[in-house]
Structure 1
């Protein structure tokens, strides 16, 4: 873990806030928890505030910092494609009082919010604004949709609710990629004056551990070619380009299997697989514990998750693990990080099933080239997205914000 940053001067009291937090799985949950651990390892006192989830304890100590989970109300599942397993703390009586008391006792120097439309971000952000505390806000999820109706609803939500709240909170934005930059400039009028451009943080240590199980044996795949697609299935990551590429791939590799790992909130890919007659190639596992993720990547010949226009945590972790990984961003996706298609990353155009099929077939037909690109992807992620590297950048900004406040 990192030991640089504020540990060189006066330690800080940092509050990390995210409605999504372990044991819930997901990119923003893991990133916020990992950064909290790095902040603590650097000598700072850290309090993580999140919403209650499942059987997770209301309070615990983990990785050198304290976690408090406030009672929350779960959003009902309405059968819409935008349904997601979200919980809201502001709707539970007494939570505002509980939160204010908790923060008054902790006496934070700075706040790091994760998620611009979560109620805990707003609640803690309001506290920070009233107490003149510096605030970082990481934008993890963009309120966009290819569905025109949902897209209009999301844009209205941003304009009428999210943007006015952010104007009041006045955070310093942490934006993860070019798509996020374009989105935040359009929706929230961000600029270089109020933003930092740090990539997703990937915990390199997590993938240095031995794998927990033999996925091929458990799923009875044997030595068949295997594609793993890991991450929750939502409209923005719908797996349709992969499914629509399968007929061409299976024609050359009829024994190939695709393991989809993650909770299915949007099942259009399964319906499309039925239409194309490729359902037998799919294995859908549902969500798995974080500790098992490296085992799925280790079992795969190829990983492909982000084919609708992205390269998120799951894809970066797959690259780090040493498995050839396909994503769908442009080479300038991460400000300050050089991506070179075919050298240190494999890129296809968003929603291009033909490109997916061509790339998958070329990798399956040339194991040596597949190993070469996998090694270069791992090195690129380690050098630019490693948790220690990204955490040091966050701590540098937090230190300056506290010093200037």
Structure 2
């Protein structure tokens, strides 16, 4: 098959969807398929390169201005740059894809490639990564309006088949986009297990002068859906029992309410805010940690699954049936807390710090669970089967003249 992978976020940009789309692309190549990745220009990344056995093309893009709000997304838009529509269609006509895999429902590159797929009658798969949700009433209202007035009408025209990664995403997509079993696949997040078999690149404790005290790592971009507030509000009680505890927050800060709350509670000194780090350094942060706490507002995403895989006990706020068909057992292969519950975070952190033997046992079971169910090879195979079925079921359109 010839598969096009489209994502505004793509390495060297860091983030869950960027890593997942790149890892799947490389896995598709390893299975004998041809891949073209299309993304938006980012910093000094070259306009075109070969990586992992496939071609990456970065289209010129305009960066969204930073407005100084408490939520400022680092987003770029390719559709407004002159000539990009024509360049994209030419690229795709030359490649002559059998299927197109979009990552992200509210990025303009997804809409552009989706429009191409509709016109050429090419099977279109769309993975929903980020949910437009915020506890802030104003932002929440704006996000819901964007979904209702812009995203849903566009998806209604494109009519992709959806890949939804967890129960939170299922509930969200049913509510916002009217998805159903008839037009959706429920695949777990793909985790690159081989990446965590490599040697560590950093000594995180030494570099941050943390010593042997308890360390909690919270890794992933700080957005309203993952605002870190439950962890901040749990810290006074945690510090009362374990006063040397430190928290390293890794990821770009788009939503800074947690910093302000930490200052109000007098625990700001316990937090080390690192910003985004290279993908190769991520395992080092998990290896340095006693606990990982990232998804505390609902859900269990890529960063939490990678932490579990790494062999570090991980706390998340999801439900037992978060991943259809995958058995999760609280206190055995995962540490669950209710969403937005500082008290539960406090109790779980202290319980795990009190009992390092049990913590290590849970971490070991978490790692095995992720390796068996979320491995990149397992999830990629599910995608490939879906592509094959979509291609076989699709009405045949005449091939346009291209390189094939």
Q: TM-score, normalised by structure 2?
A: 0.96
1:362 aligns with 2:362: no
Match of 1:89 among 78, 85, 107: 78
Question: CA contact under 8 A between 2:71 and 2:256: conserved in structure 1?
Answer: no
1:37 aligns with 2:26: yes
Match in the other structure for 2:212:
223
Gaps of at least 5 residues in structure 1 are 1-11
1:256 aligns with 2:245: yes
1:140 aligns with 2:163: no
1:193 aligns with 2:182: yes
Match in the other structure for 2:379:
390
Match of 1:53 among 15, 20, 42: 42
Structure 1 residues 200-244: Cα deviation after superposition (integer angstroms, max 9, x where no partner): 110000000110011111111111111111111111111111111
**C-alpha deviation, 1:82, in angstroms:** 3.1
SS of aligned partner of 2:39? strand
Whole-angstrom CA distance in 2 between matches of 1:304 and 1:384? 21
1:77 aligns with 2:66: yes
1:342 aligns with 2:323: no
Match of 1:282 among 264, 271, 274: 271
Match in the other structure for 1:176:
165
Match of 2:307 among 298, 318, 328: 318
Match in the other structure for 1:16:
5
Structure 1 residues 41-79: Cα deviation after superposition (integer angstroms, max 9, x where no partner): 111110000000000000000001100000000001112
Whole-angstrom CA distance in 1 between matches of 2:206 and 2:115? 51
Question: CA contact under 8 A between 1:81 and 1:234: conserved in structure 2?
Answer: no
Whole-angstrom CA distance in 1 between matches of 2:224 and 2:161? 29
**C-alpha deviation, 1:80, in angstroms:** 2.1
- Across the aligned residues of Structure 1 and Structure 2, the Cα RMSD in angstroms comes to 0.8
SS of aligned partner of 1:117? coil
Whole-angstrom CA distance in 2 between matches of 1:268 and 1:36? 35
Question: CA contact under 8 A between 1:81 and 1:235: conserved in structure 2?
Answer: no
**C-alpha deviation, 1:81, in angstroms:** 2.9
Match in the other structure for 1:294:
283
Whole-angstrom CA distance in 1 between matches of 2:207 and 2:156? 51
Match of 1:208 among 182, 197, 212: 197
Whole-angstrom CA distance in 2 between matches of 1:280 and 1:81? 21
Whole-angstrom CA distance in 1 between matches of 2:249 and 2:148? 35
Match in the other structure for 1:266:
255
Whole-angstrom CA distance in 1 between matches of 2:221 and 2:132? 16
Match of 2:340 among 321, 337, 351: 351
SS of aligned partner of 1:25? coil
Match of 1:151 among 136, 140, 144: 140
Whole-angstrom CA distance in 2 between matches of 1:225 and 1:384? 30
Match in the other structure for 2:366:
377
Whole-angstrom CA distance in 2 between matches of 1:235 and 1:167? 27
Match in the other structure for 2:150:
161
Match in the other structure for 2:227:
238
Whole-angstrom CA distance in 1 between matches of 2:185 and 2:45? 33
1:126 aligns with 2:115: yes
